[in-house]
Structure 1
Amino acid sequence: MSPVIDAHFHLWQVGRHGFEWPTPDLTAIYRDFAASDLRAAAGDGLHGAVAVQSQPLDADTQWLLSLAETDPLILGVVGWTDLSAPDAATRVAELARHPKLKGLRPMLQGLPDDNWIVRPDVAPALSAMQAAGLVFDALVFTRHLPAIETVAQRYPDLRIVIDHAAKPPIATTEAQPEATRGWTEAMTAIARHPNVVCKLSGLFTEMRPDQPFDEAAPYVAHLLTVFGPQRLLFGSDWPVVRLNGDWQKWKHWLEDQLNPLTSPERQAIFFTNAKRIYDLQGVP
């Protein structure tokens, strides 16, 4: 079995470390999740994983970093800090000193301003991220991609990772084909920037519960076309994937979609690209 790096999973403790989400109505994921849960879900072959913040608070980031110090499964952390704060550049530089802090994610999908990331008050933090070699994880929808393109142009040495393929409109692909066309065009445009890569993650949770998983196949095919296997990363979005599937279902389905690729290309998506893009240390 080839080794896998899961480039996107979450940990949380209900009521602690700034916990705000998930809410109690999401019964499949409204409980504590530890790294041991990911190990159990993934089984043999999981070499390591990147823990991604789930709460827009510094307490969540500090907790993840403390876990990463003692748990070898956590190869890196994508944290959070307020990139618009007056001292954001200093804060970014301080966080970057932690060897397991690999990136930051400002959770753009939930902000009222779709162009927040290109505001002047955010620029010092982005410059600090670029200088420190941190990754910018972009949690976005299609409508945010023009702003991400602007960031890619302004900061050509900033590595940008599009989380969950910008959450494509798979659930409405038949009822609203124009939304899918908009996503296709926007992803084609953003992929022209060499400092932008994309996670193959989160697609099942963008689907209706009654929808066959194979209706996500055209979206994966498009991502392969515009990014290529050297700029795509496997991520499970554990435990959020439990809302529609599980870790194994997602991985096996994705493996089927990637079967036409060569063995080195598949290894890049499931292992090598995460190691390179997040500069994961101690990974053979």
Structure 2
Amino acid sequence: MSAIAHGEIPGSVPIRRDIVDAHQHVWSLSNPFHHWPGAGQGTLYRDYGVQDWASVAEPSGVTCSVLVQAQEDWRETLWLLSLAAHTPTIAGVVVWVDLADAEAPARIAWLAAQPKLKGVRPMLQDMADEDWLLSSDLRPALNALCGHGLRLDALIRPRHLDMLQRFRREWPTLSLVIDHGAKPDMTGSGFAFWRDAMARLSDLGVACKLSGLHTELPPGSDDSRLTPFIETLLTLFPDRLLWGSDWPVCLLAGKTYGEILAHARAIVGRLAPVRAGSLFSGAARRFYGLDGPGILPGLIRM
């Protein structure tokens, strides 16, 4: 029997048509603050707007999304909030703030008053200092996040997992979600380390997104290579796993929005059908507080 929970019904089950996409992006090349993607990113190097997302998401039964930052620029933060204010299908926004800046606590206080603002995301994956999140310079901003009940999206890679455990123990009341399953190495190298580190983070009450994995596949790989990683995430984060498309970045994998969602629905239908309601809707609504104030951080088992 699979390590997924006992008592599941074999085969697929219908998924209600109120799916929440917990991770999608937009950008406009004409914005003066646009830096990524650049001309070298192929199909990504064009404008992707909220209507573009709706045109591919709504036919698949996706009713709303969490819009996530793509630029390290306060001007993008303001732009995303403006888009969300005029777009009913954007249920929440995760933005960028310079957490090390002396003005960060004041900016976070202002952000917390914006109706759709749900959290912030520092782009940790590309930082030279892997321990940056542990810096004492960030304490005022992190205290502000906790005080205002906001969340932190952790855009990391496996090399950050030990650091994130230390961070979580230091900030146990900060609602924390790992983006893209921490982008594990899909060649299988380091699988045991990734699995064990993710298990420890789950024990500390951290949430995780089932998103962005297709773009981590080695060129020419079959989607079946994703199965052990997805099964691991389903096992470790039974009620704190959020599905996200990572659109339009997912297009780099040669997959359409519908194909990304269909793959997730098929594998969940096979491995853990009773989890579908949580994975595709409930977990995102609870974590980000899309229907209210949101959940308290998970219980910590030290």
Q: TM-score, normalised by structure 1?
A: 0.93
1:81 corresponds, among 97, 104, 107, to 97
Aligned to 2:49: 34
Whole-angstrom CA distance in 2 between matches of 1:17 and 1:132: 30
SS at match of 1:211: coil
Q: Which residue of 1 aligns with 2:117?
A: 101
Aligned to 2:260: 250
Matches within 5 A, 1:231-242: 231-242=240-251
Distance 1:139 1:11 in 2: 17
Q: How many residue pairs get matched?
A: 275
Q: Which residue of 1 aligns with 2:127?
A: 111
Equivalent residue letter for 1:18: F
After alignment, is 121-130 or 180-189 more displaced? 180-189
Which aligned pairs between 1:206-225 and structure 2 lie closer than 5 A?
A: 206-225=216-235
Matched to 1:127, the amino acid is N
* Match of residue 58 from structure 1: 74
1:17 Cα deviation after fit: 4.9
Contact between 1:17 and 1:63, CA under 8 Å: does it hold in 2? Answer: no
CA RMSD of aligned residues (A): 1.5
Query: What code does the residue aligned with 1:146 have?
Result: D
Q: 2:139 aligns with which of 117, 123, 130?
A: 123
Q: Does 1:71 align with 2:91?
A: no
The match for 1:183 among 194, 198, 220 is 194
Partner residue, 1:162:
178
Which amino acid letter does the alignment assign opposite residue 266 of structure 2?
Answer: D
SS across alignment from 2:27: coil
- TM-score with structure 2 setting the length: 0.88
Contact 1:201 1:237 in 2 (8 A): yes
Aligned residue for 1:16?
A: 31
The Cα shift of 1:256 comes to: 1.4
Q: Give the secondary structure class of the aligned counterpart of 1:28.
A: helix
Q: CA deviation at 1:103?
A: 0.4
Identity %: 39
Q: Report the Cα distance in structure 1 between the residues aligned to 2:32 and 2:166, rounded to whole angstroms.
A: 33
Q: Is the 8 A contact 2:17 2:63 kept in 1?
A: no
> 1:17·1:60 contact (CA, 8 Å) conserved in 2?
no
The aligned counterpart of 1:261 is: 272
Unaligned runs of 5+ in 1: none
Letter in 1 for 2:121: R
1:168-216 Cα offsets, whole Å, 9 max, x none, are 101x22xxx3x2222122212211111x100000000001230001101
Instruction: Give unpaired runs (5+ residues) of structure 2.
Output: 1-15, 293-302
Instruction: Report runs of 4+ in structure 1 exceeding 4 Å deviation.
Output: none
The offset of 1:37, in angstroms, is 1.0
> Which of 183, 198, 201 is 2:208 aligned to?
198
Query: What's the secondary structure of 2:142's corresponding residue?
Result: helix
Equivalent of 1:270, from 280, 284, 290? Answer: 280
Q: Distance in 2 between matches of 1:149 and 1:280?
A: 27
Look up the match of 2:20.
Answer: 5
SS of the counterpart of 1:137? Answer: strand
Shift of 1:262: 3.9
Cα deviation for residue 143 of structure 1 reads 0.9
